[in-house]
A = this chain, B = another copy of it.
Amino acid sequence: MTSSIQTSTASEVVQKATLAKQAAPRLGMLSTEQKNKALLLMADALVAESASIIEANAEDLRRGQENGTSSSLLDRIALNEDRIAGIAEGLRQVIDLPDPIGDMLEQFSRPNGLHIRKIRVPLGVIGIIYEARPNVTVDAAGLCLKTGNAVVLRGGSAALYSNKRIVEVLHEALGRSEVPADAIQLILDPNRSSVDEMLKLNGLLDVLIPRGGHSLIQNVVKNATVPVIETGAGICHTYMDESAQYDMALNIATNAKVQRPSVCNSMETLLVHESFAKQHLAAVANHFEALKVELRGCTTSVELVPSMKLASAEDWDTEYNDYILNIRVVQGLDEAIEHIRQHGTMHSECIVTENAEHAARFLQEVDAAAVYHNASTRFTDGFEFGFGAEIGISTQKLHARGPMGLPALTSTKYLVSGSGQIRG
């Protein structure tokens, strides 16, 4: 029913989403070979056109400097030959992933003779709303193409010239393939209104995936009428149980906190069993302070380690993504689980224990996308799980939960074969 929407006066968003929707049926019928050939052409074209992409990127950087964009953001936007080669390599890795489209998930026959098959099909048209990093433009386009989906990309305006040139290059490559170039659409309108429009594009977009910071994701979740796959936010905990091995516990907590503090699967709060704390908290605190991690403790923690500042009520619900760590001493497993229930975001939670029964209870009772026993929460990641792609980590319970592999970009349909059956 797109016809009613398709008019010459339609906005850029509606026009491009309509083109994507028109391309979608053909995409869904492409063979794995046809899609892989296009991915290879895209990867080669990005490398061959590095110079023009870097030139466009330089324009983004120039404007960013004029507008006083932070150097850390400029660094995320910046492209060079190595980065472009890395982005192209990412596309080549997608070629090697199994194509989920057409997989038969179930088949069964009914007493009336109907034969029913359930098969994987593309979602159709996926809208991706993201921030600065231009590599997302290529990653998203490649993953959507591999799964037979058309994609409407709306990247941050800070990388507009880079994204524009990248998509031109991808379109040129698709022009030499059997994949319709309309499969990849980039919204050029830098105004917030083009995002707002995408959020309400039911009938043209089948799903929206926001990729970026908390405010971007919350804007999409709160305002979209198109179904959304929510990704990102993580207030993750590590619980050192009474029977935890000290070295293992410290090693896991250190990895979860400082290996990459800025990401969603890093630790924000350390929970420590009271008897373990009496024995080890001082050493744990010294260790993190030596790593320049600011510690904010509960009253008991502060009594045990006076150098710690007292945590505020808000601290327990804050995703720092920084060298800051909350520490709370708990009486035992139940209090640890209850704290996580109250303050967690159902992303990734860890128990370090030698007590098998406690481990089993923690894994069952803690409600999160990924629950760990004696391993760092940092492993919640598509590559670490062996999915070979990074679509994002779903923090909702519908459709996909946790690290998303290619199947998260698919739907299903039932094929029903009969011989004249009617319903009685």
Q: Is the CB of B418 within 8 A of A370?
A: no
A325 to B368, CA, bound (A): 49
Judged by a CB distance under 8 angstroms, whether A343 is at the interface is: yes
Chain B residues near A134: list those with CB within 8 A.
none
Residues of chain A having any CB pair with chain B under 8 Å? 1-4, 25, 28-29, 108, 110, 114, 116, 121, 123-124, 202, 206-207, 221-223, 225, 227-229, 245, 248, 251-252, 254-255, 259, 317, 341-343, 359, 363-365, 367-376, 378-380, 384-386, 396-399, 401-403, 411-423
Complex partner residue of A413 from B379, B401, B415, CB under 8 angstroms: B401
Of the A-B pairs whose beta carbons lie under 8 Å apart in the complex, a sample of 11, sorted by A's number, is A3-B342, A29-B364, A29-B365, A108-B386, A123-B397, A206-B397, A369-B413, A373-B418, A385-B414, A398-B398, A402-B414
Chain B residues near A206: list those with CB within 8 A.
397-398
Chain B residues near A401: list those with CB within 8 A.
411-413
Identify the closest chain B residue to A316 (Cβ): B1
Q: Is the CB of B229 within 8 A of A398?
A: yes
Extra 14 A-B pairs, beta carbons < 8 Å, given A259-B422, A370-B414 = A29-B364, A108-B386, A206-B397, A227-B397, A245-B420, A367-B413, A373-B417, A375-B421, A378-B423, A379-B423, A385-B414, A402-B413, A402-B414, A403-B414
- What is the minimal beta-carbon distance from A297 to any residue of chain B, in angstroms? 20
Interface-central residue, A29, A123, A342, A397, by most chain B CB under 10 Å: A397
Q: Is the CB of B397 within 8 A of A341?
A: no
Chain B residues near A378: list those with CB within 8 A.
422-423
- What is the minimal beta-carbon distance from A63 to any residue of chain B, in angstroms? 34
Identify the closest chain B residue to A411 (Cβ): B397
Given contacts A116-B385, A386-B110, contact A255 B416 (CB under 8 A): no
Identify the closest chain B residue to A397 (Cβ): B411
Q: Is the CB of A396 within 8 A of B1?
A: no
A374 to B422, CA, bound (A): 9
A419 to B371, CA, bound (A): 14
Q: Is the CB of A413 within 8 A of B368?
A: yes
Q: Is the CB of A227 within 8 A of B227?
A: yes
Q: Is the CB of B371 within 8 A of A398?
A: no
7 A-B pairs with the lowest CB-CB distances in the bound complex, closest first: A375-B418, A255-B422, A397-B411, A399-B399, A378-B423, A248-B420, A370-B414
Given contacts A364-B29, A413-B367, contact A423 B384 (CB under 8 A): yes
